[in-house]
Amino acid sequence: MEQNKPKKRINWNLIYVLVIAANIAFAIAFYFLSDTYGAF
């Protein structure tokens, strides 16, 4: 039974995109944080 179970495949491309997207989100958050506290 166990052997017939299809192996879960990780969608690596999606994970890479999510990691980069998270960092873009950090950059945007930092931009607004700088702006809020008068850096620009």
Partner 1 sequence: MELFNWFNGLTGALTRIDWLILISTLAFIVLYGVYKTRGKQTSEQYIKGGDSRWWTVGLSVMATQASAITFLSTPGQAYTDGLEFVQFYFGLPIAVVIICITFIPIYHKLKVFTAYEFLEKRFDIKTRSLASILFLIQRGLAAGITIYAPAIILSAVLDWELKYLNIVIGILVIIYTVSGGTKAVNVTQKQQMIVIMAGMITAFILIVQQLPDNVTFDNALQMAGDADKMKIIDFDFSLDDRYNIWSALFGASFLMLSYFGTDQSQVQRYLSGKSVSQMRIGLLFNGLLKVPMQFFILLVGVMVFVFYQYNSTPLNFNPAAEKAVLESSLAPSYKELQQEHEQLLASKQSKQVAYGDAIASNSSNILQLSEELKILRDKEDANRDKARALIAVADPAVETNDKDFVFINFILNHLPHGLIGLLLAVILSAAMSSTASELNALSSTTTVDIYKRFTGADKNDEHYVKAGKWFTLLWGLIAITFASVVSLFDNLIQLVNIIGSLFYGTILGIFLVAFYVKKVKGHAIFIAALLSETVVIVCYLVDSADNGIDLLPFLWLNPLGAILTVVLAYVLQTIQRSPDQLNIT
**Binding of partner 1 by 19 (CB under 8 A):** yes
Taking the least distance from each CB to partner 1, the nearer of 2 and 12 is: 12
Q: Which is closer to partner 1, CB of 1 or CB of 12? A: 12
Distance between alpha carbon 2 and the CA centroid of its chain, in Å? 33
**Residue pair 40/34 in contact by the 8 Å Cβ criterion:** yes
Q: Could you say whether residue 14 binds partner 1 (CB under 8 A)? A: no
Residues that bind partner 1 (CB under 8 A): 10, 12, 15-16, 19-20, 22-23, 26-27, 30-31, 33-34, 36-40
